[in-house]
Chains A and B, each alone.
Chain A
Amino acid sequence: MTLSDLETLPGGRILQAEMGAKTAIHDACASDMLSDVMAHAPDDSVLITIQAHTNTVAVATLAGIRAILVCHDRPVPPEMLEAARREQIAVAVTSAAQYEASWRIHALLAASP
């Protein structure tokens, strides 16, 4: 799947995608515990979370995460978007909860070659 597929999620919007909407995403990780993310997130993945702050971007950078998907339509602060732009990490939001976002992304990943 690519970054632009995140727009197919309920209320899906991409807020920051400077590196391009065609960026490939190969895996996913759902967690709100950033230490857990750092320990277990796979490379080139999308992080499904409710943690919308600059430290999420820092953790994503360390863990090799390509995109952060913020669930429950949580507000994304401008400094988080700024940090994400600097670090070339995409940011998207959805109105879905983590569980729904997870199974939808699973389907998208399974459908992609």
Chain B
Amino acid sequence: MGGSPALPIPPDQSPLVLLDLLFKMRIKDVMSSTVITVTRSQTLREAQALMKANRITGMPVAEDGRLFGIVSMDDIVSALEGGWIGEPVEQHMTRNVVVLEEDMPLSFGASYFEKYQFGRFPVLSRDNLLVGILSSRDVSAAVLIELLQEFGRLEARLPAVQTPPEASPHHILLQFSVKKYDFERAGKGTHEIKRTLTGFGIDPRLIRRAAVASYEMEMNMVLHSAGGSLSCVIDPDRVEITARDTGPGIPNVEQALEEGYTTANEWIKSLGFGAGMGLPNIRRVSDDFAIQSSTAGTQVRVAIRFPPPPAPEGKPA
């Protein structure tokens, strides 16, 4: 799927008003919810027919909402040249799919187009189901509509809606990439999360729990996965940390959650990790814990809730 132009919205050079706008919009508000998909057993020839009929250049391989891969026009061209156009999609699809999540701000979507040079990204729900697809065209159209409204306001000389500055964190997003076996850099994301939470004056005991979860999640990806990303959302009432890797998946999640169970090799153990305590530790320190794993990757999501601040004495009128 190469050759698609990146969005002309470089995050470090664009006007703040535009970045702010991208941050406010959610992927789910912009994506196309109707997704043309192909199943694993369909042939590349059938995929090509679907692409042609729908005038698209790539589509997710999915069954019952579960994403297995993506097949693009490039794959079709290679199949035609190589003579395997009659073979099942499953044998030639791209399995390591870069996905977006519906609740992410659109800024993530925009930066993904910049970063990966793909023409589209499948969008998954919180439950890891395929719920939409985001193309660079969807993003430009949405941005254009918003900008036109902004211009309308300017023309009418109305001040833009101002949100008052907040003392507590409101949907602060942090994201870090984690590389396989990059032992030296592991913990950088956690460090940043910890620093940010400290800046908001969160209770150090809660910060420690978030940091332990986050560090174990980073370590797990460094030691056991092909690499992935760590993201963190800080809200007034909670911090949510998600680790998402690109495989190879945990064969038996139940077992991995048992203390002492490990698949670590000697090298990992010699560094003081791989005692089979990572996932149990993460679950122990978090208020909410969810894990999903398939050969396409593992996602661990945890939340640590902040207790509500003490009620102010004497209610204001």
A64 to chain B, nearest CB (A): 7
B210 to chain A, nearest CB (A): 10
Contacts of B219 in A (CB 8 A): 35
State the CA gap A86–B221 with chains docked (Å): 25
Are B215 and A58 in contact, with the CB atoms below 8 A? yes
Among A32, A39, A63, contact of B277 (Cβ-Cβ < 8 Å)? A39
State the CA gap A61–B216 with chains docked (Å): 14
Contacts of A35 in B (CB 8 A): 216, 219, 272-273, 275, 277-278, 281
Are A62 and B215 in contact, with the CB atoms below 8 A? yes
State the CA gap A12–B273 with chains docked (Å): 26
B126 at interface by CB-CB < 8 Å: no
Among B219, B272, B284, max chain A CB count under 10 A is at B272
Number of interface residues of B (CB under 8 A): 21
Contacts of B137 in A (CB 8 A): none
Contacts of A62 in B (CB 8 A): 190, 194, 208, 211-212, 215
B103 to chain A, nearest CB (A): 28
B271 at interface by CB-CB < 8 Å: yes
Which of chain A's residues has its CB closest to B279's CB? A35
State the CA gap A91–B278 with chains docked (Å): 25
Contacts of A39 in B (CB 8 A): 212, 277, 281, 284
Are A55 and B281 in contact, with the CB atoms below 8 A? no
From 179 to 193 in chain B, residues with beta carbon under 8 angstroms from any chain A beta carbon are 183-184, 186-187, 190-191
Contacts of B275 in A (CB 8 A): 33, 35-36
A65 to chain B, nearest CB (A): 12
Contacts of B281 in A (CB 8 A): 35, 38-39
A98 at interface by CB-CB < 8 Å: no
Contacts of A49 in B (CB 8 A): 272
Are A59 and B215 in contact, with the CB atoms below 8 A? yes
Are B187 and A51 in contact, with the CB atoms below 8 A? no
Binary B-proximity of A74-100 (CB < 8 A = 1, otherwise 0): 000001000000000000000000000
State the CA gap A53–B216 with chains docked (Å): 17
Which of chain B's residues has its CB closest to A31's CB? B272
Are B215 and A38 in contact, with the CB atoms below 8 A? yes
Are A38 and B216 in contact, with the CB atoms below 8 A? yes
From 58 to 81 in chain B, residues with beta carbon under 8 angstroms from any chain A beta carbon are none
Are A55 and B272 in contact, with the CB atoms below 8 A? yes
From 1 to 57 in chain A, residues with beta carbon under 8 angstroms from any chain B beta carbon are 32-39, 49, 51, 53-56
Are B184 and A54 in contact, with the CB atoms below 8 A? yes
Which of chain A's residues has its CB closest to B218's CB? A58
B150 to chain A, nearest CB (A): 43
Are B208 and A64 in contact, with the CB atoms below 8 A? yes
Are B191 and A58 in contact, with the CB atoms below 8 A? yes
Which of chain A's residues has its CB closest to B183's CB? A55
B139 to chain A, nearest CB (A): 37
State the CA gap A56–B215 with chains docked (Å): 12
Which of chain A's residues has its CB closest to B204's CB? A64
Are B271 and A53 in contact, with the CB atoms below 8 A? yes
Contacts of B208 in A (CB 8 A): 62-64
Contacts of B194 in A (CB 8 A): 62
Which of chain B's residues has its CB closest to A59's CB? B215
Are B271 and A51 in contact, with the CB atoms below 8 A? yes
State the CA gap A70–B211 with chains docked (Å): 24
Which of chain A's residues has its CB closest to B207's CB? A62
State the CA gap A39–B88 with chains docked (Å): 48
State the CA gap A45–B186 with chains docked (Å): 23
Contacts of A34 in B (CB 8 A): 271-273
Q: CB within 8 Å of A: which residues of B?
A: 183-184, 186-187, 190-191, 194, 208, 211-212, 215-216, 219, 271-273, 275, 277-278, 281, 284
16 contacts between A and B (CB under 8 A): A33-B272, A33-B273, A35-B216, A35-B219, A35-B272, A39-B212, A39-B277, A39-B281, A49-B272, A51-B272, A55-B186, A55-B272, A58-B187, A58-B215, A62-B212, A64-B208
Q: CB within 8 Å of B: which residues of A?
A: 32-39, 49, 51, 53-56, 58-59, 61-64, 79
